[in-house]
Amino acid sequence: MLNPTVEQALNDQIQKEFHSAYIYLSMAAYFEAENLPGSANWMHQQASEEQAHALKIFEFIHDRGGRVVLQAIDAPPATFASPLAVFQASYAHEQKVTKSIHDLYALAVKEGDYPTQIMLQWFIDEQVEEEKTASAIVAQLQMVGDSPAALFMIDRQLAARSGA
Ligand code: FEO
């Protein structure tokens, strides 16, 4: 049986993962409007991954005999100053998600919930990757500055991301 405090925190995390998907979809919409289809593709893939994260926790709650209660999702930002600003926002967002996963893990430890700790290890590893990927793209965009040719090249590279 799932501890009610952990169950509530897992439901909160489902909301955060769907909110992440919403944010990345909004970023995809921005890139579509800016004629950067590779970057839009990257954001679409990211949004799909976030939905998969939410569903992983959704299934886990049910596997443990708990109850999923979906929550409201706030509107994401609709405008961004530049492609660099988008990826900076993405990196900052992932750092917040990492903190949330770590807090959840600490709660599972405090409550002696071993299955939740094991399930969250996947998310802890995933956040290392998510932060690494976002910060690498931020670094590339900072390097190229305002060069349209270089931005075009980076966009081509981001077009190569495909679904996991
Ligand atoms: Fe589900 Fe990007 O963390």
Mean of the per-residue pLDDT values of the chain: 96
Q: Which atom of ligand 1 is nearest to the CA of 126?
A: 3
Q: What is the DSSP letter of 67?
A: -
Pick the residue whose CA is nearest to atom 1 on ligand 1. 50
CB 16 within 8 A of CB 94: no
Say how many Å lie between the CA of residue 15 and the centre of ligand 1: 11
> Does the Cβ of 123 fall within 6 Å of ligand 1?
no
Please state the rounded mean pLDDT for residues 12-18: 98
Domain boundaries defined on the chain: 4-71+82-159
- pTM for the model stands at 0.95
Distances in Å between the Cα of 51 and the Cα atoms of 22, 44, 82, 83 are 9, 11, 25, 23
CATH code 1.20.1260.10 for 4-71+82-159: yes
For the purposes of burial, counting CB atoms within 10 Å of the CB of 23, is it exposed (0-12), middle (13-18) or buried (19 or more)? buried
Output DSSP code: residue 137: H
Q: Is the pLDDT of residue 164 over 60?
A: no
